Chains A and B, each alone.
Chain A
Amino acid sequence: MGNLYMLVGGILGLFPMTIRNFIGPLVALPCRIYQHKINEALKPLFTERMEYLKTPPKENPDEPEDHFQMILRFAQKERPEELNIKDIGTRLVLANFGSFHQTAIAATNVLLNILHSNKQYNTIAVLRGEISDVLKEFNGVWSRAAVAKMIRCDSVLRETLRINAFGARNMVRKVMVDGLKTEDGKFSPWKRYRSTV
């Protein structure tokens, strides 16, 4: 679904806003169908979890503590009008879009970078050694403290994010007012975008 979002965004991005208003619904039709299928798959879980919402939070010990339940609890308290399968389904997909898409790209790059590193550094053996040493210290349990100790793994992850960063632009902002001027006198027209590289 995330890939579909990107595809639709890419296709519609080719057109100016005025045309997008007309072809948007058509191009995004696969998204609607996909979302419907996901909602259908989520429906049994949704009805099951709605039962837990009848008791106050933290009272039922059987209540699962996952993201879906957190979303439902928040919706129940703060956005009761969105407590339906369509809104919850879309929100879940969007939350996943943020977490999956970037992680999948980063994890792929990590793997490729490890395999691609120069032979004399022996990266795989070094990382394996570090992981087994740290895990021995923590009796084989992957905990936050254990992961925080794996500095070589951390270094690989950080370097990967630095070298293979995706999205070269940051802090994209839309100009919402007419005639915005920065402190050094640069003029930003209305409805344009500003970002840092």
Chain B
Amino acid sequence: MQGDHVLNGPEAIIDMDSFDWSTGHRKYLTDPWQGLVLKRDMNAVLENLMVALKDELKFCFDTRFGTNTKEWTELDVYETMQIVIAQGSSRFTVGLPLCKLPNSRNIL
């Protein structure tokens, strides 16, 4: 077991993914409180979110994968899934109506 000053996890991630430049500042990863907030506060309200999340996911799956059970259509699963996840997850990050934006995948 070594301290952060000897073996540092965030520093390695920053270097590997070049987050210095893609995010603009390393403070977003050396001090990643956005994730801690999620971990700390989200569990308490998780149960209330489930119903909304289910509605949103049903809506996304129906619109993106289609409800036509007679005819076959071709779609890129990963592309579609990205949109579905982005929209579903945004329901509890930014809520309605922002999560329904057609370009909500951009926040991905």
Residues of A within 8 A of B (CB): 1-6, 8-9, 12-13, 17, 20, 24-25, 27-28, 31-32, 34-35, 37-38, 41-42, 45, 64-68, 70-71, 74, 78-79, 90-101, 103-105, 107-108, 111-112, 141-144, 171-177, 180, 193-195
Contact = CB atoms under 8 A, between A and B. Distances in A.
A17 B14 CA distance: 12
Interface in B10-28: 11-13, 15-25, 28
A177 B5 contact: yes
B15 A5 contact: no
Nearest to A147: B50
B45 A176 contact: no
A24 B107 contact: no
Contact of B95 (A1, A5, A6, A68): A68
B19 A9 contact: yes
B92 A66 contact: yes
Given A1-B108, A34-B106, A98-B35, A142 B54 contact: yes
A142 B88 CA distance: 15
Contacts, number: 179
Q: Is the interface of A mostly helix, strand, loop or mixed?
A: helix
Q: Is the interface of B mostly helix, strand, loop or mixed?
A: helix
Contacts of B13: 172
Contact of A92 (B8, B34, B54, B81): B34
A116 to B, nearest CB: 12
Interface in B41-70: 41-42, 45-48, 50-51, 54
B16 A9 contact: yes
Task: Name the interface size band of chain B.
Answer: 35 or more
Contacts of B85: 100, 103-104, 107
Contacts of A143: 47, 50
Given A28-B21, A71-B34, A174-B15, A103 B106 contact: no
Given A8-B18, A175-B7, 18 more contacts: A5-B23, A17-B15, A24-B18, A28-B18, A31-B22, A31-B24, A32-B24, A64-B95, A67-B42, A74-B37, A92-B34, A100-B85, A100-B86, A104-B78, A104-B85, A112-B77, A172-B13, A195-B12
Nearest to A4: B22
A23 B50 CA distance: 44
B63 to A, nearest CB: 16
Contacts of A103: 85, 89
Contacts of A180: 2, 6-7
Given A92-B34, A101-B108, A171-B9, A68 B93 contact: yes
Contacts of A65: 45, 48
A185 to B, nearest CB: 16
Contacts of B7: 173-176, 180, 194
A68 B12 contact: no
